[in-house]
Structure 1
Amino acid sequence: MNSRLKYIFVLVCLFVMGSTSSYASSEEHSSEGEKSLNVKELILDHLADSYQWHITTWGDHPIVVSLPVIVKGENSGWNVFSAARFDHGHSAYKGFYIAQEGDYKGKIVEKNASGDEIRPWDISITKNAFALLVCSIITLVLIMSVARWYKKNSTAESPKAPKGFIGFMEMFIMSVNDDIIKPCVGKNYKKFAPYLLTTFFFIFINNIAGLIPIFPFGATVTGNIAVTLVLALFTLVIVNIFGTKEYWKEVFWPEVPTWLKPIMIPIEIVGVFTKPFALMIRLFANILAGHSIVLGLVCLIFLTVKLGVAINSSMTVVSVVLTIFISFVEILVAYIQAYVFTMLSAVFIGLAQAEPHHAKKHE
């Protein structure tokens, strides 16, 4: 047991050192010309989406993976090319370039006939999009491998009890199904279990992948509000499409005194949208905050460089120790946030499955 803990601790330390070196290389690049470190800008740059995946810097040469750019310009139509054409954002290609400031900072823009910067139709495979595809493939492979084993085992002459990876996945899946979905949704839980299980594993795998600073992982996918928005919209659609008549009656004609109905009806209607909104913000804010804390702790090393060797050395130790601690906490948070999102989605779906009071009495 002790050897396993040591092995896990060494892995986490390597991840932290890898991420620290990545941040350090970016800081060194940004500090050319004796510029002071802008912590806010550094953190936002690392958390932002991009068209190239910066892995590390070897000497003065940055090692990056250039992703495909797919844009439709105002006059040039559709164009497909590598992000390497932008030379890390310093060059333009076919009239397209990456804005360095303004509302479109970090995004591909072009200039119209009036000379104003405008956004083309942009469906490029960015860092977050690529990480999303990788994690989606991993999720599919994991789930389909389990499903394939059970399909083969069900037709075998002598079925075997699952063990190893399959046994672990069964325990994981059944814990989510029995502890979250079944009690929160109610008797119709089997109808919604596929969606809720998929949501849980999708969020969990993306959260864990975001903690691994090795290509093709390390992107803050669930810290992107567009991703959490889509997940919340799925829950919103499912809740309201499969909502019962009693659910809609409680929204548009709640059982309250008549004089309270003009007040309660707008509140209930607003509540239909605030529930998924809370899902979106909760997941986005918690994941983004965790990554921001880690980046902020790493920045302490560089902020204290000018305060002397003693202070800088002590702050470096404090920074590394706290970063390792937060990394362990983030592993727990990765599970908790997937758990909470799935649980709240199941609760909202369960509330939408409300039945008439007389039907509940007959059960």
Structure 2
Amino acid sequence: MKVSSLKSFAVASFSLFMILFSNVTLAQHDQHGEQGHAATEEKKGFDANKVIFDHVLDGHEYHFMDVTGEDGHLHPISLPLPVMLYSPQRGFTAFLSSKFEHGHADYNGYRLVDGKVIPVNEAGQIDESVKVYDISLTRNVVQMLVALTLLVVIMLSIAKKYKKGIGVKQAPSGFQNAVEPVITFVRDEVAKPNLGQKKYAKYLPLLLTIFFFILINNLFGLLPGSANVTGNIAFTAVLGLISFVVILFSGNKHFWGHIFNPPVPGFVKPIMVLVEFLSIFTKPFALIIRLFANMLAGHIIIICLISLIFIFGGMSAGIGWGFSPISIGFSVFIFLIEVLVAFIQAFIFTNLTAVFIGQAIEETHHHDDHAHHDLPDDAVII
């Protein structure tokens, strides 16, 4: 609760501050008298909104930093990614995103505008007659594939050790020491309490995959220059959809009977049926929004804190340098919290998935009825 309150307060405070000061600009006027005329050059100030959205949204390249060249212009340092487009009118096209020159050039009849590829004609105007399907390997997709590959490699290497008897007949070794306690924790504290001793093994592979996949992507997102995959609503929506399908197909007669024929008085039953039916969809929705909002908020807070240095620097260089230690200190503090949140959110998503599946496979309890039958006739139930 303290972490959530801190995030909410920080987001509200810095959002208000950025609205007030994000439009600060610097104007630099240079007089050139070689041709007998004056030229005025304006330099735009730091755009915090653009920096934030460029980081949290998906893109066609990994952008690390901008370097000022000898010509005085900014030169981005980035890693281009493959752009793959299909158009019914133009066919399939593939090339590197560097061909767009960071949005300053058109290539092969396409233009990059705010991270989206749009078709253009020979005159450089948007061609509304051409429909484009972007199936590119964006940074979210690439990073997700890297996380998946890492997860498979780690688990296969650990599985080989168990096949050799390491960790069974003798003490675990290497990275197996770090992973085994986590697997044991998910089994004993998540799967067994929520799914029961008889059925937990059936769902344990799913729960472990969800936990480690979210955890790896959370930690990758904290690396400088990386993509915030778990802060993307599409990523969490797919995970929520998977949990939703598993919950539906795991539901037994008791689960569906409780939804469409809840044990309540007849006049309340129509309302409760509607409420119970809606709860089927609110469960995965809660999983989706919780992970998305928490991981997105942490990244925005850190970027806001760093952006304050440049916002104050646009007002005065001295204020910018003076505020730097404060901004960096708070950023490091929030970053350390985000490392903790990365583990917590992976655990919460996995635990709630196990809870919802456990509710779907729960059997009818008869112990209460037997308890009442065993009571003497003159007993008073309090």
TM-score (norm. length: structure 2):
0.79
Q: Which structure has greater helix proportion?
A: 1
Q: Which residues in structure 2 correspond to 1:1-363 (within 5 Å)?
A: 33-60=42-69, 61-99=75-113, 105-110=114-119, 115-116=127-128, 120-153=132-165, 159-187=169-197, 188-213=199-224, 218-358=226-366
Aligned-pair CA distance for 1:86:
1.2
**Greater shift in the superposed pair: 169-178 or 283-292:** 169-178
Deviations 1:176-215 (A, max 9, x none): 211112112223111111001100000011101111115x
CA distance in 1, matches of 2:66, 2:48: 19
Equivalent residue letter for 1:325:
F
Aligned-pair CA distance for 1:340:
0.6
Q: Is the 8 A contact 2:207 2:354 kept in 1?
A: yes
CA distance in 1, matches of 2:241, 2:42: 46
Aligned-pair CA distance for 1:118:
6.3
Pair 1:361–1:211, CA change in 2 (3 A)? farther
Aligned-pair CA distance for 1:332:
0.3
Equivalent residue letter for 2:105:
S
Q: Is the 8 A contact 1:54 1:64 kept in 2?
A: yes
Deviations 1:14-35 (A, max 9, x none): xxxxxxxxxxxxxx9xx99421
Other structure's SS at 2:58 match: coil
Aligned-pair CA distance for 1:306:
4.0
Aligned-pair CA distance for 1:309:
4.7
Deviations 1:231-263 (A, max 9, x none): 000000000011111101111111111111110
CA distance in 2, matches of 1:79, 1:311: 49
| RMSD after superposition | 2.4
Other structure's SS at 1:356 match: coil
Q: Is the 8 A contact 2:87 2:130 kept in 1?
A: no
Equivalent residue letter for 2:135:
I
Aligned-pair CA distance for 1:92:
1.9
CA distance in 1, matches of 2:53, 2:80: 20
Larger radius of gyration: 2
Aligned-pair CA distance for 1:45:
1.6
CA distance in 2, matches of 1:306, 1:36: 6
TM-score (norm. length: structure 1):
0.83
Q: Is the 8 A contact 2:62 2:78 kept in 1?
A: yes
Pair 1:199–1:254, CA change in 2 (3 A)? same
Q: Which blocks of at least 5 consecutive residues in structure 1 are unaligned? A: 1-27, 100-104
CA distance in 1, matches of 2:100, 2:126: 23
CA distance in 1, matches of 2:48, 2:54: 10
Q: Is the 8 A contact 1:146 1:166 kept in 2?
A: yes
Aligned residue pairs total: 323
**Greater shift in the superposed pair: 237-246 or 65-74:** 65-74
Residue 4 (structure 1) aligns with: none
CA distance in 2, matches of 1:69, 1:172: 38
Deviations 1:292-322 (A, max 9, x none): 0000000110111144454323311100100
Identical aligned residues as a percent? 41
CA distance in 2, matches of 1:334, 1:153: 32
CA distance in 1, matches of 2:188, 2:126: 61
Pair 1:120–1:164, CA change in 2 (3 A)? same
Q: Is the 8 A contact 1:111 1:117 kept in 2?
A: no
